[in-house]
Amino acid sequence: MDDRQNAEKLPAGGAGDFAAELKYQSGFGNHFSSEAIAGALPIGHNNPLVCPYGLYAEQINGTSFTTPRSANQRSWLYRIKPSVTHEPFKARSPAHGRLMAEFTQSNSSANPTQMRWMPVEIPDEPTDFLDGMFTMCGAGSSFLRHGYALHMYAANKSMEDCAFCNADGDFLVIPQQGRLWVTTECGKLAVSPGDIVVLPQGFRFSVSLPDGPSRGYIAEIFGAHFQLPELGPIGANGLAAPRDFLVPTAWFEEEPRPEYTIVQKYGGELFTAVQDFSPFNVVAWHGNYTPYKYDLSKFCPYNVVLFDHADPSIFTGLSAPTEKPGVALLDFLIFPPRWFVAEGTFRPPYFHRNCMNEFMGVIHGGYEAKGGGYPGGACLHSCMTPHGPDTKSFESTIALGDDMGPRRESGTLSFMFESALIPRICPWALESPAMDHDYLQHWIGMKSHFNRELTDIK
Ligand SMILES: [Fe+2]
């Protein structure tokens, strides 16, 4: 698309309605180009002796220089001042205290119990996106570039004169309540509940909360980036379509900002550096390493059309791979509104034990295996821990017998993160007042239906 019109529509530094005139580029993993002023992007050179308009050229690499071309990710940013122009990094005071990027016996717990957390309270005291984040569980290490952390956030105010930079990994953010207006070095993204946004390692960004009280989920992956899953026998189309991923267009501000703070997450700890300008001073950029967003309602689900229950992998929206084929560091699965049509089939998710680890959240509505749902909450079923429909869901499904016609599950949106790596749980997650200590009770009372005379399969 020609985003040069963007320069006329989006005044540099203007406040206005953040979302009103945003323009995006479309595609997954494309090599994009964008300029907020026509002619700002050098043609034919990445690093000319003098860049157009006297801009500085700066590369950001999301993969090693020598990563094979098919997986290599990098972008060139053309900015008013280079990122390096800042005061020395200092450990942030006060420290955050509830973020973790390396999971060990000394800082987190192994616990196979089925766990559920009800929606966390949004704090009364002013709390921005960064301070409202807290790690729930994770595995591996950001230092060793292998692993993940699952966080949640509960916040009520916008980040001010402050940008966040995550040196540890990529964030996949899922707002559950309240919109996120995200300003990045590549431009702006307006993200609503029902959307996700991916903020790759190293990009500076700032989050405004136009709706005030806000809550959501964040997955962070170390040493990998999300890909679209292979489609196999599904064919050339289906699930998440590449063209539905949206990337921002260049936007910049040039006014002096005498006390602008960069907060860098590095090894799970926060460091701050002060500079006298906004990091959102990129007038043009090109490359394939970018933030992006995706509207979950665009997901095209595939499922069983005659009998039996598909494995949940059929709902994979994005996947971060390990080196083993078919084994994910972290899969992101989307459970949208959909039809259930299987005949003679127990339709809720089957009883299950899995070598993989499953963390679920609910954006809105219910979830078919759990009566009542828990929007804003989360549950964790770790490696080989049994789980499945609760007693009430099982009995009500069986009671319907042969009367189950096609049924549309509307008004529901939930997701799952699935990983091969076994999570360790953060102490504050285990001690959280949101912990549902009665969760296991949902399966109590399952009675035996064993009957030697019952030989028909319905
Ligand atoms: Fe499962």
Q: Is residue 256 a contact partner of residue 40, using CB atoms and an 8 Å limit?
A: no
Q: What is the pLDDT of residue 5?
A: 35
Question: What SS3 class is residue 403?
Answer: helix
Q: What is the pLDDT of residue 369?
A: 60
Q: What is the pLDDT of residue 457?
A: 63
CA angle 74, 27, 325 (to 5 degrees): 70
CA 373 centroid distance within chain:
21
For 415, list phi and psi in degrees, rounded to 5: -150, 165
| DSSP label at residue 301 | -
**Ligand 1 center to 352 CA (angstroms):** 5
DSSP of 317-378, one letter per residue? EEEEE-SSTT-EEEEEEEE-SEEE--TTS--SPPPB--SSEEEEEEEES-BTTBTT--TT-E
Q: Is residue 371 a contact partner of residue 451, using CB atoms and an 8 Å limit?
A: no
146 appears as a binding residue in the annotation: no
What does the chain come to in residues?
A: 458
Is the confidence at residue 337, as pLDDT, over 80? yes
pLDDT tens-digit map of 217-246: 999 999 999 999 999 999 999 999 999 999
Q: Could you tell me the pLDDT band of residue 7, with boundaries at 50, 70 and 90?
A: very low
Adjacent-strand bridge partners of 333: 316, 416
387 appears as a binding residue in the annotation: yes
CA 46 centroid distance within chain:
31
CA 101 centroid distance within chain:
16
Domain limits of the chain? 18-108+124-296, 299-442
**Ligand 1 center to 353 CA (angstroms):** 6
CATH 3.90.110.10 for domain 18-108+124-296, yes or no, is no
User: Quick check: do 18-108+124-296 and 299-442 share a fold?
Assistant: yes
The token pair at 114 is: 């089925």
Percent of the chain clearing pLDDT 90 (strictly above): 87
Active site residues: 309
| Residue indicated by tokens 């099982």 | 394
Q: What is the pLDDT of residue 232?
A: 96
**Ligand 1 center to 417 CA (angstroms):** 11
Overall average pLDDT of the 315-344 stretch: 96
Q: Is residue 78 a contact partner of residue 284, using CB atoms and an 8 Å limit?
A: yes
Average pLDDT, rounded, for the chain: 93
Is the confidence at residue 13, as pLDDT, over 60? no
352 appears as a binding residue in the annotation: yes
User: What is the model's pTM?
Assistant: 0.94
**Ligand 1 center to 358 CA (angstroms):** 6
367 appears as a binding residue in the annotation: yes
| DSSP label at residue 391 | H
Q: What is the pLDDT of residue 17?
A: 73
Is the confidence at residue 399, as pLDDT, over 90? no
**Ligand 1 center to 229 CA (angstroms):** 19
Stretch (H or E) spanning 33? strand 32-35
Q: What is the pLDDT of residue 371?
A: 55
Q: What is the pLDDT of residue 143?
A: 98
**Ligand 1 center to 387 CA (angstroms):** 7
Question: What SS3 class is residue 315?
Answer: helix
- The correct CATH number of 299-442 out of 2.60.120.10, 3.90.1570.10, 1.10.10.10, 3.40.50.1000 is 2.60.120.10
